[in-house]
Chain A
Amino acid sequence: MRIPCPLCGPRDRREFTYYGSDDYLNRPAPDAGAGPWDDHLHLRANPAGETHDLWYHEAGCAQWLRVHRNTVSHEIYGAALVAGLKGGAQ
């Protein structure tokens, strides 16, 4: 797998650390209560097919990426910097 980093170009999957679904960007308010936090931390759609998930370009630009890819074919459609997205660093 090669991930097209917006800053570094297409790079080998080994340069990246995987985090998980982009659900992590939709963080509930600190006082939202146990239910929304349980949902945020633990429950996943886990789709078979297209998905958006978070990868850290550890051995490259040290940026978090939101990668659009396919969990069945391993095809990668694109990647964007998390910085600037809702839930990312502004």
Chain B
Amino acid sequence: MRYSGFRVIAEALTGHKGWKPVWRDPAPKAEYDYIIVGGGGHGLATAYYLAKEFRQARIAVLEKGYLGGGNVGRNTTIIRSNYLLDGNEPFYEFSLKLWEGLEQDFNYNAMVSQRGIINLIHTDAQRDAFTRRGNGMILNGADAELLSRDQVRSMYPWLNFDNARFPIKGALMQRRGGTVRHDAVAWGYARGADLRGVDLIQNCEVTGMRIEGGRIKGVETTRGFIGAKKVGVAVAGSSSKVMAHAGMRLPIESHVLQAFVSEGLKPLIDGVMTFGAGHFYVSQSDKGGLVFGGDIDGYNSYAQRGNLPVIEDVAEGGMALMPAIGRARLLRTWGGIMDMSMDGSPIIDKTHVEGLYFNGGWCYGGFKATPASGWCFAHLLAKDEPHKTATAYRFDRFLKGLMIDEKGQGAQPNLH
């Protein structure tokens, strides 16, 4: 069923009796050409682009829970391409371009809203760094703009511009950045993949991998063995657990990142704002809730819930930036598990096992990467060579000293 305004009106006039389930619920077949492990944003996007852009093949997505039940449903929905380094920026700009055409492409309303993102500047040195970053973005085909203090003030007059420690002196702005309805991204990709014959198999956890003579033969699951010519793993948050089935240790630690939503407020912030110096970022949802967050908790965790010290830290950052937030009540907080890689950048690569491919290490920036991650992983699975924007995302970059370290923190995952 194709969605359209006409369809909505027709259904409204006939009691909404014509809507059908959006995807099938098939049982696993004995064998597939491609198995994608992980029915989150990246896995579903991979299956969608693989079926649509690259190969007519027998494809299945295996999900241990329900589709979109992991980090694609737990993030703060921001899209942007404001990276500095050559290994990253072309990839994230490719992703932002895919976001811009996504809803027409998969015929699903993902509420892509390019409401603009600003990164606040507090010192001359930071302005220099952001100027350099902005130039890097422009050189890679993205948009970037340096805002003066007065320009920021005209947008958000209620910010605390004269904070003694971090006075606001301007901002780096990317107008094409914004937010997207995160769940709808998973649902749109799932529907698009299902329409192209991909089997989306839920409640099917991978419990082992069958590897013979250095080649993948299939995966053991809670619903039995499923054979496959190629297996792509896209399970960020659980990457180490799944790849351990292939005997691999990854350059990744799992960390918990918390997010927060306030009660619904009147329109206050029409874009996205980051206050990096204060470990705080914020946007406002269409329902009015302030959606905000800060740093990861900082220690390895698979708990999907955080601890109070970070909640306190984020609240302090919010108060320092926008004292008006002090009267707002917090509606809920939650945590998601991040694949924190050793240099803060992701991995899309082959493994030492023939036919086994890996996509992960997205740190806390995986959501914005979803379309390009899916496209590039599908490219790698179909053609056995990396997409031109993802050539740097290799496993061996750590051994070779070719790290993509945006923050310059070194091999210390909890600092990225």
A residues neighboring B (CB under 8 Å): 1, 12-14, 18, 20-21, 34-35, 38-39, 41-48, 51, 53, 55, 71-74
> Is the Cβ of B254 less than 8 Å from the Cβ of A41?
no
> Is the Cβ of A43 less than 8 Å from the Cβ of B307?
no
Bound form: Cα–Cα A14–B250 in Å = 28
Return chain B residues, CB-CB under 8 Å to A71. Answer: 254, 300-303
User: A42 contacts which of B300, B307, B309, B342 (Cβ < 8 Å)?
Assistant: B342
Given A12-B309, A44-B250, A46-B249, 6 extra CB contacts under 8 A: A34-B399, A41-B411, A43-B249, A46-B252, A48-B254, A55-B299
> Is the Cβ of B303 less than 8 Å from the Cβ of A44?
no
Return chain B residues, CB-CB under 8 Å to A47. Answer: 240
> Is the Cβ of B301 less than 8 Å from the Cβ of A42?
no
Query: Least Cβ distance of A36 to chain B in Å?
Result: 11
Return chain B residues, CB-CB under 8 Å to A21. Answer: 253, 300
Return chain B residues, CB-CB under 8 Å to A53. Answer: 299-300
> Is the Cβ of B301 less than 8 Å from the Cβ of A13?
no
> Is the Cβ of B309 less than 8 Å from the Cβ of A14?
yes
> Is the Cβ of A74 less than 8 Å from the Cβ of B307?
yes
**Mind listing 23 A-B residue pairs with CB under 8 Å?**
A13-B309, A18-B298, A20-B300, A20-B412, A20-B413, A21-B300, A38-B398, A41-B342, A42-B251, A42-B399, A43-B249, A45-B240, A45-B244, A45-B249, A46-B240, A46-B253, A48-B302, A51-B300, A71-B254, A72-B303, A73-B303, A74-B303, A74-B307
Return chain B residues, CB-CB under 8 Å to A13. Answer: 299, 307, 309
Q: Is the interface of B mostly helix, strand, loop or mixed?
A: mixed
Return chain A residues, CB-CB under 8 Å to B174. Answer: none
Bound form: Cα–Cα A45–B301 in Å = 13
> Is the Cβ of A38 less than 8 Å from the Cβ of B300?
no
Bound form: Cα–Cα A35–B301 in Å = 27
Bound form: Cα–Cα A49–B299 in Å = 13
Return chain A residues, CB-CB under 8 Å to B413. Answer: 20
In the A-B complex, list the 4 residue pairs whose CB atoms are closest, starting with the nearest.
A46-B240, A43-B249, A42-B398, A42-B251
Name which residue of chain B comes closest to A38, CB basis.
B399
Within 8 A of A (CB), among B281-309: 298-303, 307, 309
Q: Does B383 contact A (CB under 8 A)?
A: no
Query: Least Cβ distance of B236 to chain A in Å?
Result: 12
Query: Least Cβ distance of B334 to chain A in Å?
Result: 15
Q: Does B414 contact A (CB under 8 A)?
A: yes
Bound form: Cα–Cα A48–B241 in Å = 7
User: B399 contacts which of A20, A35, A45, A51 (Cβ < 8 Å)?
Assistant: A35
Within 8 A of A (CB), among B338-397: 342
Bound form: Cα–Cα A55–B414 in Å = 13
Within 8 A of A (CB), among B45-96: none
Return chain A residues, CB-CB under 8 Å to B252. Answer: 44, 46
Return chain A residues, CB-CB under 8 Å to B342. Answer: 41-42
Query: Least Cβ distance of B303 to chain A in Å?
Result: 6
Return chain A residues, CB-CB under 8 Å to B302. Answer: 48, 71-72
> Is the Cβ of B301 less than 8 Å from the Cβ of A74?
yes
Query: Least Cβ distance of B240 to chain A in Å?
Result: 4
Return chain B residues, CB-CB under 8 Å to A20. Answer: 253, 300, 412-414
Bound form: Cα–Cα A51–B302 in Å = 11
Bound form: Cα–Cα A69–B260 in Å = 27
Bound form: Cα–Cα A55–B299 in Å = 9
Return chain A residues, CB-CB under 8 Å to B249. Answer: 39, 43-46
> Is the Cβ of B299 less than 8 Å from the Cβ of A18?
yes
Considering residues A41, A44, A46, A71, which has the most beta carbons from chain B within 10 angstroms of its beta carbon? A46
Query: Least Cβ distance of B395 to chain A in Å?
Result: 10
